[in-house]
Amino acid sequence: LRSCSPGRARRTNASRRACLVARFGDIYAQDRLDAERILRTYICNTEMVQRIIYTAALESFQAAKVAYRQFKIRVRKTLSVRNSGPESLDDSVLDYIVRHEDLYDVQASINEVIRSLSINPKISVPLDFDFVVISSFIRELCCVAFSMQTLIPPLDVAFGMDGELFSEIKYHRSFDSDYTAALVAYHVWPALMENDVVIVKGEAVTKR
């Protein structure tokens, strides 16, 4: 194990949170659009492209959260043998993870996201299509999601369902929405949540 700085995670929590929320916004504003352009060279249906992007975001957070839990268990098991400082074991574990996020096996999460996209019944793509074409987009999402798990409290994305009642609190309407429609046809981007409170709105399409 490498050395770690006691209390680092708590001391830097506010600044790390601000940076990660900004990165999440940048992914929505730039990386998402880049991924859409790539997908449109293979898929003509705009709705399907946006469904893929949205599902990739959800699956990236899910894969990163699973990886974080597994990583945390391994670190906790190792540090429990040698933890003798004034800080708690939980703090020592979190400090270590924050300092060594480079040990996160992001490629394994990318592979899991691609596998999940490939078997999702709501996604239809050409037979010769490979989701690896948006692997850089998925990588960025997984890295941000993993880092968000080290925050106190951690951040997560909201899961949305087709046909749910549109929420002005959670979503912006997409430009091509029917603004008189009350139900969500499909989602474009998930909302970012902290303790079940929306801190960044997502985007959804409403249609009658």
Average pLDDT over residues 34-54: 97
pLDDT in tens, 119-149: 999 999 999 999 999 999 999 999 999 999 9
Q: What is the pLDDT of residue 83?
A: 60
Q: Which residues contact 67 (CB under 8 A, 6 or more apart)?
A: 104, 105, 108, 109, 142, 146
Q: What is the pLDDT of residue 125?
A: 95
C-alpha 87/C-alpha 81 separation (Å) is: 14
pLDDT in tens, 141-190: 999 999 999 999 999 999 999 999 999 999 999 999 999 999 999 999 99
Q: Which of 106, 95, 121 shows the shortest CA–CA distance to 68? A: 106
Question: Largest Cα–Cα distance of the chain, in whole Å?
Answer: 62
Average pLDDT over residues 50-61: 98
Confidence check: pLDDT of 81 > 60 = yes
Q: What is the pLDDT of residue 1?
A: 46
Q: What is the pLDDT of residue 89?
A: 85
Q: What is the pLDDT of residue 41?
A: 96
Number of H helices, E strands in the chain: 7, 6
pTM over 0.85: yes
| Both structure tokens of 37 | 């352009």
Mean pLDDT of the chain: 93
Confidence check: pLDDT of 19 > 60 = yes
Lowest mean pLDDT, pick from 3-17, 21-35, 86-100, 138-152: 3-17
Average pLDDT over residues 58-73: 97
Burial class (CB in 10 A: 0-12, 13-18, 19+), 107: exposed
Confidence check: pLDDT of 2 > 60 = no
Percent of the chain at pLDDT exceeding 70: 94
